[in-house]
A and B are shown apart, each in its own frame.
Chain A
Amino acid sequence: MSVCDTTTPKRPRWRAWLETDTPQSVRQASLQETWRKVLYFRSQPLGMIGLALLLLLLFVVVFAPLLATHNPIAQDLDARLLPPSAQYWLGTDHLGRDVYSRIVYGARTTLRIAVLVAIIVAPLGLVIGATAGYLGGIVDEILMRITDVFLAFPGLILALGFAAALGPGVDNAIIAIALTAWPPIARLARAEALTIRQADYIAAVRLQGASAARIIVRHVMPVCLPSVTVRVTLNMAGVILTAAGLGFLGLGAQPPWPEWGAMVAVGRQFMFDYPWVVAAPGLAIAAISLAFNLLGDALRDTLDPRIG
């Protein structure tokens, strides 16, 4: 092992394939583009921390039965409000349920809400925003006024109304949150589309005789996608907090099934004497919200088209 050893270790084949400057197919070229983004993302420590936290959350969700030390809904009234110990890692709540196991299982609810809301909100906002922005005129007016109506309500209040009307439960909470979360995405996509529609490369596509639908789907939406992705990621923190808020108010996940917001709500009564009941789920919510924010910031830098 000499210091002045100049021979670089041989790159594996897949890496050479990803870094060659003469790609052989569109697929290879787009994978190369993704690879460049990955390399750039890896250079952002805060983004990596956010990603690591979210991967940890995913790990917990997948392996919840193996990670939990107790049954999350089994009550043991002899072991009420016990402090953290070797047996109950994060203590027990007022019904003697293990807080750690409840947090592990509660992660499933949280991730389910976050993922489903993102799946509903991102395409909806993207389609509405890109269509309104590109077509303009009367279509834009109608779509944006509808968006304004939804924007006029405070998110949590509208979600409350929907959850109350549709009945409490996680699925209804997801629908309620999604209904309040799409307008900012649509606004953002519209703003992007408004600038893109003036671009020469869109004029060039029009000059090929392409239909408006084709232009929106194949040319406008892909350009809007990075900023929408970033926005949705950053919104996830808010979504999780809204979900926790609904849970806190009793309109989210229903007892006895664990949900972080509901756990905080219950633990509130014992906050001063038995702080771990509130602290653990509260910290979990804070950590995951933070993780989504860190990831969103890093993604914004990574997906910026100016970074090639």
Chain B
Amino acid sequence: MIELEVRDLTVAFGPERQRVRAVEDVSFAIARGACFGLVGESGCGKSTVLRVIAGLNRDYGGTVSLRGTPVPPRRDKAYYKRVQMVFQDPYGSLHPGKTVYSQIMGPMLVHKLAGAEQRVDRALEAVGLGTAFRFRYPHQLSGGQRQRVAIARALALEPEVLLLDEPTSALDVSVQAEILNLLADLREREGLTYLLVSHDLAVIAHLCEELAVMDRGRIVEALTRDQLVRGETKVDSTRRLLEASEELGEDRLPPEAPR
């Protein structure tokens, strides 16, 4: 069953005369419980696709559907109960003046959910942060801990789909693995559907069974993880990404897929 589908997505920026097409005719579908990766170099439009799905960019052509039902460009509250996002930079995605507790409590108050306090505790536990962290401010946490808080905030509403915008690229290499393993565990435990955007094939290969490579606003190739690990690619942009990934050390590509 298809959880999230994007069809003929086109996004253009700028005034009438010099409109730049950032995304052109992008289509893909993600099965429920799957993890779909969107890879590409910086500026290829992958983050724009994510922002459109998240509803941060309302000016687009094409349709976004959730379980077969198209959603309007101006998303409603019910949509956000089901789709949540984790941002790239945990230093920018947490409000500097609010405690961990208040950050995670926020969505609960917006949606007027019952048992909010227990939900906060459960979300913190799910990301491996003890209750000792509940009343700390972001500046008292490390980068990895902040990203865990950001993930907990996204999970607190118990969504079905998690949009991940380079969730590890602002973190230390040692912490990256921790967060990736956490995301893999969470997907299994909570039955989440992921859409992961990254420029790093190692990260994509770690989490996703299927991926699409974007270049200059278009999807140029769709691959499975096995094809990627074997290096079966037909286009140059994928090859470039593979080379860049190998230069950083091939051992970062996991030899066998988790799960």
Contact = CB atoms under 8 A, between A and B. Distances in A.
Interface in A204-227: 204-210, 214, 218-219, 222-223
A200 B93 contact: yes
B93 A207 contact: no
Looking at chain A's contact residues, the main secondary structure is helix
Interface string A109-142: 0000000000000000000000000000000000
A203 B99 contact: no
Given A25-B135, A204-B153, A209-B81, A223 B97 contact: yes
Contacts, number: 79
A26 B135 contact: yes
A223 B96 contact: yes
Interface string B70-103: 0000011101110011011100111111010110
Nearest to A223: B97
Given A204-B87, A208-B106, A209-B80, A219 B95 contact: yes
Given A29-B99, A214-B110, A208 B80 contact: yes
B89 A200 contact: yes
Contacts of B157: 208
B114 interface: no
Interface stretch (B23-31, B136-144, B207-215, B244-252): B136-144
Contact of A209 (B56, B76, B89, B97): B76
B100 to A, nearest CB: 9
A222 B56 contact: no
B251 to A, nearest CB: 32
Contacts of B80: 207-209
Given A203-B56, A205-B106, A209-B77, A28 B96 contact: no
Contacts of A24: 135
22 contacts: A22-B135, A199-B92, A200-B88, A201-B95, A201-B96, A203-B56, A204-B85, A204-B87, A205-B95, A206-B55, A206-B56, A207-B55, A207-B80, A207-B84, A209-B75, A209-B79, A209-B80, A209-B107, A214-B110, A218-B106, A223-B96, A308-B139
Interface of B: 54-56, 75-77, 79-81, 84-85, 87-89, 92-97, 99, 101-102, 106-107, 110-111, 132, 135-137, 139-140, 150, 153, 157
Given A26-B99, A204-B94, A223-B96, 19 more contacts: A21-B140, A22-B132, A26-B102, A29-B136, A33-B137, A199-B92, A201-B93, A203-B93, A204-B150, A205-B95, A207-B54, A207-B55, A207-B80, A208-B80, A208-B106, A209-B81, A210-B106, A210-B110, A308-B137
Interface of A: 21-26, 28-30, 33, 199-201, 203-210, 214, 218-219, 222-223, 305, 308
Q: Which 8 A-B pairs have the closest CB atoms?
A: A209-B77, A29-B135, A209-B80, A200-B93, A208-B107, A23-B135, A308-B139, A200-B92
